Chain A
Amino acid sequence: MADTSNADQGEFPISITVEFTGGLELLFGNERKHKVVLPARLEDGSRPNISYLLKYLVNNLMKDQRIDMFIMEDNVRPGILVLINDADWELEGEETYELQQGDNIVFVSTLHGG
């Protein structure tokens, strides 16, 4: 998590793992685990955060048309938990969390199945 200094010096794309469980995998081609590679810097010079990742997932990985089952008001739909390296994303700054090399992001739906 630390080696994020030296911003200008040939940054590598950020490679992370994204997991969907609790029924959410149904929206993503029934695949639970996905490898995702994000640019180290966005066009405006900022680093990709969870908000960016959400847009990326909807545009690139989501197979289902029902976007509102995942996203509501530009954020994760209430009832879907987000874990950043196994920790509740509330502990990490939620959608403003900047992704780090090798991060594991898990989306768990609490809305399905009982």
Chain B
Amino acid sequence: MAPTACFNCKEARAVIIRPKNRHKLCRACFIDIFETEVHETIIGTNLFFPGERVAIGASGGKDSTVLAAVLKTLNERYNYGLDLCLLSIDEGIRGYRDDSLETVKRNAVQYEMPLDILGYSELYGWTMDQVVEQVGKKGNCTYCGVFRRQALDRGAARLGIKHVVTGHNADDVAETVMMNLLRGDLPRLSRGTSIVTSSDASDIKRSKPLKYAYEKEIVLYAHHRQLDYFTTECIYSPEAFRGSARTLIKDLEKIRPSSILDIVKSGEDMAALVPVEVRGVGKSKQGEEESAGGCGSQNGRTSGGEMAAMEKELAENDTAESLETEIKIPNGSRVKANRGPTGKAVKVQTIKHCERCNYISSQRICKACTLLDGLNRNRPKTAIEVGVGMEDEESSSTLMRQMERAKLSAT
């Protein structure tokens, strides 16, 4: 087959077909256009201001590595004047995070950025290895997810940095849109599609500059620039990447590659329909979207059980959900917030601060502290409490294990 010439320069051999418009590009044009598009996203959304200190949430994986490389390139090319650094979270999983942190350390040298690593052990007093030792391999993702969501914010706060960027890409956003669509969770859908997630209650701003970048192009960008990134599966959740929403997105892409950006666009349009008062409330970062990114395995949070858990939640909230879809409410009306027939308007939360750790939470005690309580007390009763809110299946095995332990220590 004769080589195809690049759509852009008409000279060099095309090596990629862009998913969004099927343009065939050579290596150099692809890299240039990819970077330019991220730049346009940044400029178009006024993402940064000159002199801003920005922490890049870095896992050593492809997305955050590409984000760091592109931001460094653009910062120099267009004089953003950003003070960039890398912020990594060490979940404390030996043989998994150790290796990816080595990658981040190399990235810090390659991109000449300072690196800070913050560990779960330091933040919470527990490594994931220790958590798994206590609760078992089932259900440990719940702990990891809840802990991670707070960790980046806390890390940034510690560094006195008010803006954290993450490597979430278009596929991640599309996945989040699908998940929240299936959940009927419009408030979260609207928050998840936004390039910036900030909260009135927190002074840390979160954003995702790669929001419109296809995962395929991120991987190809990393490949063609020969970036140093690390991939592995989390040893505690080896099959996590087989999430149903993820599979759906990839299948759709195979049939019609533009689907992914179309879903992102649909999400944004739907978000625009969500009344501000619905969108605004529940800005709590507890249970914030964060579909992937931080997790080593691409979508640890959408692993098998999630769909089942979601269906269950849907069934429970059935009545409330049906009301929540009535979004064409005249502005100013707060119908949705109060109309849950059972008083169970779960999606509408008020922002409080956790009484223990002062982190923003919709509850008196934030989820991380609740989980920590359970771990620290190591009593079966707490396992039941934790279990009720989580997947029943998993908590029962946790419970059994903890019962056994209690029995052992009693004798």
- Which residues of chain A are within 8 angstroms of B250 by Cβ–Cβ distance? 77-79, 111
Interface string of A52-78 (1 = CB under 8 A from B): 000000000000000001000000011
| CB-defined contacts of B63 to chain A, threshold 8 Å | 114
A112 contacts across to B, CB distance below 8 A: 61, 231-233, 241, 297-298
Determine the distance from Cα of A77 to Cα of B242 in the docked complex, in whole angstroms: 11
Looking at A79, A88, A93, the one whose CB has the most chain B CB atoms below 10 A away is: A79
Number of interface residues of A (CB under 8 A): 26
Please measure, in the bound complex, the distance between the C-alpha atom of A90 and the C-alpha atom of B171, giving whole angstroms. Answer: 20
**Chain A, range 11-67, C-beta contacts under 8 Å to B:** 21-23, 26
Given contacts A110-B219, A114-B292, contact A88 B15 (CB under 8 A): yes
Residues of the A chain whose Cβ atoms lie less than 8 Å from the Cβ of B172: 114
B17–A88 CB distance below 8 A? yes
Q: Is the CB of B17 within 8 A of A114?
A: no
| Set B13, B223, B233, B293: member contacting A23, Cβ < 8 A | B233
Minimum distance in angstroms from B15 CB to a CB of chain A = 4
A91 and B231 contacting across the interface, CB-CB below 8 Å:
no
The yes or no answer to A86 lying at the interface (CB within 8 A) is: yes
A53 vs B171: C-alpha distance when bound (angstroms): 29
B251 is an interface residue with CB less than 8 A from chain A = yes
In the bound complex, how far is the Cα of B224 from the Cα of A23, in angstroms?
17
Please measure, in the bound complex, the distance between the C-alpha atom of A87 and the C-alpha atom of B4, giving whole angstroms.
Answer: 10
Interface: B191 (CB within 8 A): no
| B192, CB-defined interface residue at 8 Å | no
A106–B16 CA distance with the chains assembled, in angstroms: 14
Segment 44-61 of B: residues with Cβ below 8 Å from A: 59-61
Interface flag for B64 (CB, 8 Å): yes
Please state if A113 and B232 are interface contacts (CB–CB under 8 Å).
yes
Neighbouring A residues of B233 by C-beta, 8 Å: 23, 26, 112-113
A105 within 8 A of B: no
Q: How far is the CA of A108 from the CA of B223 in the complex (A)?
A: 9
Q: Please indicate the chain B residues that have their CB under 8 angstroms from the CB of A78 in the complex.
A: 247, 250-251, 253-254
Closest to A30 in B: B232
CA distance A106 to B167 in the complex (A): 24
Q: Collect the chain B residues with CB atoms within 8 Å of residue A99's CB.
A: none
Is B1 an interface residue, CB under 8 A from the partner? Answer: yes
Once bound together, how far apart are the Cα atoms of A23 and B316, in whole Å?
A: 38
Q: Which A residues touch B292, using CB under 8 A?
A: 114
Bound-complex Cα distance A88 to B297 (A): 24
Chain A nearest Cβ from B388, distance in angstroms: 30
- Name the residue in A22, A83, A112 with the highest tally of chain B Cβ atoms < 10 Å from its Cβ: A112
